[in-house]
Structure 1
Amino acid sequence: MTALGPSADTFWATSLRRWNTVCWVLFAAMAFGIAAMGRPGGEMYGALGLLGCVVLGYALIERFPGNRIVRPHGYLAVLALALGGLAYLRTSYAALFMVTLPHYWMFGRTPRISMGFLGLATFTTLLGSWLQLGWSAEFLGETAVSTLIVVAVGVLIGLWAHSVVEQSTERARLIDELEQAQAQLSAAHQRQGAADERERLAREIHDTLAQGFASIVVLAEAARAGLADDPGRSAQQLRSIESTARENLAEARELVGSGGSPGQVAAGSVASTLRRVLDRFAEDTGLTVDADLADPECDQQTRIALLRCTQESLANVRKHARASTVGVVLARLPYGVELEITDDGAGFVVEESTGFGLDGMRKRLAELGGRLTVTSSVGDGTRILATVPLAGGTEGTA
């Protein structure tokens, strides 16, 4: 790997800052020691020159991080050669060697490069000491052994630190991917929520305002056609138009005021609510309506669903069925409540139905855990069966 990612870079930058003070103090102490304790001559000036090269290289790396000209690998090469020169000149290079061990891992970035420069520093140091001491007991028994021990410890610590950084980087990458996935999932949920809300609002508009407008159109056409022959009937139809328009206006205000929710439109007894709808339907259409309505205790959402299913079914009878009789049965069963609406009209092929109304009824009931069953055939009328489970009901009893 060439780069370890943002977490690794942060780790190395933090570690480097911690060592900066130690390095600069050591550089100053070594320069003072060489100048104060060394004998004037070429060796002292050479040691100061080598130390100056290391200090200059380190200062450039610190001052211009990431510069294309000032390369960290160049500093590591200078450091390795300077350590060899200081070892040859018999100056105190051991402290510099130990303090700068982390630099090979900080600036090498990969284990292979870091160990390569560390091996070069070890080789130049041992070479410088050997050129000065030869195969003496001091070289073999003290310098070589201590240098190799320091290098071995540095390698172990460096590999451990590199492993920790890799694990941290992988964790950071996984956390970043998880955060991105969560953000995408949240955005998808928001889009789905907006789509569901639009669909729900469209269903409410269809089941209230659109049905009311359709009734107004049908009643207006009938009233206009009967003005000459049956003024009384036309007057009644005009009153129905006025009543329906007022109801639509109230529905519109309710939808706008409650942000698209159906409000209290079905509050109270479900049987009495359906009875008013059926009486109004019979009055407007002149059809015979046979109703057998129980009065089960339902929550508001169930009352609304039963009311909307009834309104949609009656609207379909008015527009398409050409029926003479409509039957409505509302019953409380062990597993819930059941609403059955039948007509003796023209019927239709259920599989070929593409209207919004039946699909809206299915979705409305499905939200409550219920189900809609439509049975019809051409010439044999239609049967709409809506079932909604209630609290305390047992589906298996069905």
Structure 2
Amino acid sequence: MGNIRGWDIAVVSAAAILFALVLANGAEGGELVGAGAVIVAIIVVWFALGRGSEDGSPRAITVSALIVVLSGVGTAISPSMATAQAIAFPLLWLLAGSTRAAVVANVSLAVSVGTGYFLYLGGTWSALSQAVVIEAISLAGSFAIGFWITRISEESAERARLIDELRETQAQLEAVSRDAGAMGERERLAREIHDTIAQDLTGLVLLAQRTRRELVSGSPTVGETVDLLEDSARTALAETRSLVAASAPVALAEGGIRAALDRLASRFGRETGIVVGVVGETPPLDRDTEVVLLRCAQEGLANVRKHSAASNATLELTVDETSVTLIVRDDGDGFDPALENDGFGLSGMRDRLTLVGGTLAIASSPGVGTSLTATLPRSAVLA
């Protein structure tokens, strides 16, 4: 029902003003007592029934009917009581459960007050015409204000509904965004783990197998292999710590991408016996671009180790006006790129490049080696 306390004040204030008008118009005797009784009755009806009723409820309908009747009776006793419409019309709009019910209640009030006028003025044709004119004007004013307030109320309710829907939609979008962010982070971690820790562990397994063979055969190079095994383990540990700290790869800590590729090639050659050459220089690159290039180089060499049976490989780094390109080339067995590949490495490399606007091209055929070409936009290069 809105602000009940405000309506309490309005009803009491209107009753006081109404009684003052009755006195000012010279009412006395029975007219004064009757008008006063009606005013008190209106106050009692409001505080006893009206202020706690729900819009359109049977209780509200009862209050509306009593207000209509009391207003008409009051006007029949004293014409000054017609001023009660000033508070009665708004109360009827307030108590009605719908616009149609409010219109019916307002028309009933106008008829009731008009009848009171007609009776007070003697029931003549002149009194009837006067009552009709006065109540028509009053009713028109009530309709104008009532419909205007109703439209504002409906628009406010619609805005409130739209705001609630917007908030609900925002909450859903936030949930979707969180899920997408979590999924993206899981995919990123999967790529990082595959390109770093998983490859390092693969190298450790191979070095452990090599160490066992050298120990069995009594090879004099077993000490060198153990040193390499320890170095690989330390590198894996450092990469793990770097991943946990969400920082750039340890290999990029000094010298940029070219130095990191040199270290990667040297370590890979010592672990596998495959000779890896590094070709090309680049201008300074931003760290994110260097990370992508290094991960692509690591994955490319991991594929060389696992599948190629190559004796030589090359990491070729070039920059032109539009792009930065890394080519991982080997002289191994090669394969048919058209065949379905269920591994994670190449798809992970392609996804990583796609995230930065890059592309991956694969050129290979059985018996002639493989060439992986990773291309990033030239905009990634710093001036």
TM range (shorter): 0.7 to 0.9
CA deviations on 1:29-54 (whole Å, 9 max, x unpaired) are 556887994324xx766555544442
2:8 maps to 1:20: yes
Separation of aligned partners in 2, 1:29 and 1:315: 94
Letter in 1 for 2:77: L
Q: In the TM superposition, what whole-angstrom CA distance separates every residue of 1:95-119 from its partner, at most 9, and x where no partner exists?
A: 1122222112111142211110011
Cα distance in structure 1, aligned partners of 2:10 and 2:298: 85
Runs of 5+ consecutive residues of structure 2 not aligned to the other structure:
none
Is the aligned partner of 1:107 residue 2:95?
A: yes
SS in 1 for 2:329: strand
CA contact (8 A) 2:358 2:377 kept: yes
> Match of 2:188?
200
- 2:247 pairs with one of 261, 266, 269: 261
**Range with bigger deviation, 76-85 or 329-338:** 329-338
Letter matched to residue 146 of structure 1 = I
Which residue is 1:275 aligned to? Answer: 262
From 130, 134, 159, the equivalent of 2:123 is: 134
The structural deviation recorded for 1:310 is 1.2
1:100 is paired with a residue whose SS is helix
Work out the CA distance in 1 between the residues paired with 2:21 and 2:269. Answer: 113
Query: Hey, what does 2:321 align to over in structure 1?
Result: 334
> Contact (CA 8 Å) 2:118, 2:127: kept in 1 or not?
no
Unaligned runs of 5+ in 1: 1-8, 394-398
- C-alpha distance in 2, partners of 1:244/1:65? 81
Deviation at 1:250, TM superposition (A): 1.5
Task: For 1:286-305, list aligned pairs within 5 A.
Answer: 286-305=273-292
Superposition TM-score, scaled by structure 2 size: 0.88
The 1:391/1:29 distance shift into structure 2, 3 A limit, reads closer
Instruction: Name the stretch that deviates more: 69-78 or 353-362.
Output: 69-78
Which range moved further: 46-55 or 170-179?
A: 46-55
Matches within 5 A, 1:108-187: 108-132=96-120, 133-141=122-130, 143-187=131-175
> Are residues 152 and 79 of structure 1, via their aligned partners in 2, closer, same or farther at CA, if it must alter by over 3 Å?
same
Assess if the C-alpha contact under 8 Å between 1:76 and 1:117 holds in 2: yes
After TM superposition, the structure 1 = structure 2 runs for residues 172-251 of structure 1, keeping only pairs within 5 Å, are 172-229=160-217, 231-251=219-239
- SS in structure 1 of the partner of residue 363 of structure 2: strand
Pairs aligned (count): 376
Q: Deviations over 1:268-317 (max 9, x none)?
A: 23222212211221222122334423344322222222211111111121
Whether the aligned pair in 2 keeps the contact of 1:83 and 1:97 (CA below 8 Å) is: yes
Residue 92 of structure 1 deviates from its aligned partner by 2.6
Which string of whole-angstrom CA distances, capped at 9 and with x for unpartnered residues, describes residues 49-76 of structure 1? 5444422221124552439987212111
Distance 2:380 2:54 in 1: 71
Q: In the aligned structure 2, how far is the partner of 1:63 from the partner of 1:75?
A: 10
Aligned letter for 2:47? A
Contact (CA 8 Å) 2:117, 2:127: kept in 1 or not? no
Match of 2:348 in 1: 360
Counterpart CA distance in 2 for 1:93 and 1:386 is 92
Q: How many percent identity over aligned positions?
A: 34
SS of match in other structure, 2:332: coil
More deviation, 327-336/242-251? 327-336
Task: Quote how far apart the aligned CAs of 1:180 are.
Answer: 2.0
Q: Between 186-195 and 374-383, report the one with greater CA deviation.
A: 374-383
Q: Which deviates the most, 224-233 or 243-252?
A: 224-233
**1:316 aligns to 2:303 (yes or no):** yes
Q: Is the 8 A contact 1:216 1:245 kept in 2?
A: yes
TM-score (norm 1): 0.85
1:253 Cα deviation (Å)? 2.1
User: What is the one-letter code of the residue matched to 1:389?
Assistant: P
Residue 179 of structure 1 deviates from its aligned partner by 2.2
Task: Return the letter of the residue paired with 1:255.
Answer: L
- Counterpart of 2:45? 57
For residues 153 and 21 of structure 1, do their structure 2 counterparts lie closer, same or farther at Cα, with a shift above 3 Å needed? same
**Could you tell me how far apart the structure 2 residues matched to 1:286 and 1:33 are?**
112
2:358–2:374 CA contact under 8 A, matched in 1: yes
Q: Mean alpha-carbon deviation: is it higher for 214-223 or for 358-367? A: 358-367
Change (3 A) 1:341 1:123: same
SS of match in other structure, 1:347? coil
Change (3 A) 1:69 1:392: closer
